Structure 1
Amino acid sequence: MSLLGKKFNGAIARPMWPFYVSGLVVLYGVNSMANAMMLSDEHKNDPRNQLTRNKPAAH
């Protein structure tokens, strides 16, 4: 006797592929927007900005 009950073999990934693809598109869009905002004039001199934090000093 199984603890989890009867197993049903059903497709999981095949009917869910549109949700996986749309999730990747949304994550790509959020990442692109975040990078664009970090490079904007308003946040370019922010000390918390990770893109401009560890630049080597110019000689």
Structure 2
Amino acid sequence: MSLPKIDEIKALNKVDLENEILNIKKELFKLRFYRKTKQSFKSHQFKHQKHRLAQLLMIQKNN
């Protein structure tokens, strides 16, 4: 799985951008929860979700 592309984010409107940020934050919370409770999860998802969140926040800041 490759890292998310920023071109997809640039096409989002303000409401979709905010919803996507909330979804990514929820997903990161779930991943941290899985790690702490020693449940199985794909550890590479941390990198992908954090990268995606940084992209979203950068685009939100510039708008």
Query: Is the structural similarity TM-score above 0.5?
Result: no
Task: Please indicate the TM-score interval, normalised by the length of the shorter structure.
Answer: 0.3 to 0.5
Q: Higher relative CO (CA 8 A, sep ≥ 6), structure 1 or 2?
A: 2
TM-score (norm 1): 0.43
Structure with the bigger percentage of helix:
2
* Larger Rg over CA atoms: 1
TM-score (norm 2): 0.41
